[in-house]
Amino acid sequence: MKELLKQNILKHIALSNKEIDSFCNLFNENKVMKKQFLLREGDICKFEGFVTKGLFRIYHIDQNGFEQVLYFAQENWWITDMDSFTNEKPSHLYIQALEDSVVLLISKKDKEFAYNNIPKIEKLFRIMTQKTHISLQRRMIDNLSKTADQRYIDFIEKYPNLFQRLTNLQIAAYLGISHEFLSKIRRKIASKK
């Protein structure tokens, strides 16, 4: 049941059986039904999670009530509000299941325990954080330099699987455009084929 998690970790770093087992044992399985929230604005994020089934959206609601999706997390992705979790302060984010999902959660206390007792875990999260930072940096550049059409096309190419599972509403919120405009982009693309 924690096979996916183990494989995911081993992609980043080499660990002995003992190390990986004792780390994975700190995670607990949770089911989250579609539309339920793992985190809401104002909550303090008490967990770091790894998705083994289903799909989540991590988003923010701005002053005008518009939702911005920071990222989607499907099977094999990690989810948390790093700011709220590490600094133990109220979150600005929502984490909601878009499908019936299963997620493995580790508490802050247990993660601290792992940092202090399994030295390589520090390295693991240093590497993982670097990787997520690198991809966010790429997305930042893309958002600054590319037009919405191109960002949509890139999204489909990069995440064909997510594209199938998401509504246009969600994709628009990720691309940072209105869903009406996304609809017009789709029409334009369709007419070109």
Residues of the shown chain interacting with DNA in the complex, contacts defined by CB under 7 A? 34, 64, 66, 147-149, 167-169, 176-184, 186-187
Asked if 126 touches a second copy (CB under 8 A), the answer is yes
**Are 127 and 13 a contacting pair, CB within 8 Å?**
yes
How many of the other CB atoms lie within 10 Å of CB of 118?
19
The span from the CA of 164 to the CA of 26, in Å, is: 33
Q: Considering only CA atoms, which of 155, 165, 159, 141 is closest in space to residue 185?
A: 155
All residues at 6 or more sequence positions from 17 whose CB lies less than 8 Å from its CB, including other chains: none
Helix ranges restricted to H, the chain: 3-12, 17-24, 82-87, 108-117, 119-145, 148-158, 160-165, 168-175, 179-192
Select from DNA, a second copy, none the partner in contact with residue 182, using the beta carbon and a kind-dependent cut-off of 5 to 8 Å. Answer: DNA
Asked if 10 touches a second copy (CB under 8 A), the answer is no
Nearer to DNA, 104 or 162 (CB): 162
Asked if 143 touches a second copy (CB under 8 A), the answer is yes
In angstroms, what is the minimal distance from the CB of 150 to DNA? 8
Asked if 112 touches a second copy (CB under 8 A), the answer is no
Extract the tokens encoding 123: 């390295």
**Are 101 and 56 a contacting pair, CB within 8 Å?**
yes
Count of residues engaged in binding a second copy, rule: CB under 8 A: 32
Near a second copy by CB under 8 A, which window of 31-39, 43-51, 55-63, 154-162? 55-63
Element (H, E) at 57: strand 55-61
Using CB under 8 A, pick the residue from 10, 115, 158, 161 that binds a second copy.
Answer: 115
Nearer to DNA, 3 or 65 (CB): 65
Q: Considering only CA atoms, which of 103, 115, 124, 126 is closest in space to residue 50?
A: 103
Near a second copy by CB under 8 A, which window of 16-24, 27-35, 65-73, 152-160? 65-73
Using CB under 8 A, pick the residue from 82, 109, 187, 188 that binds a second copy.
Answer: 82
Chain residues binding a second copy by CB under 8 A are: 60, 62-64, 66, 68, 70, 82-83, 86, 92, 115, 119, 122-123, 125-126, 129-130, 132-134, 136-137, 139-141, 143-146, 176
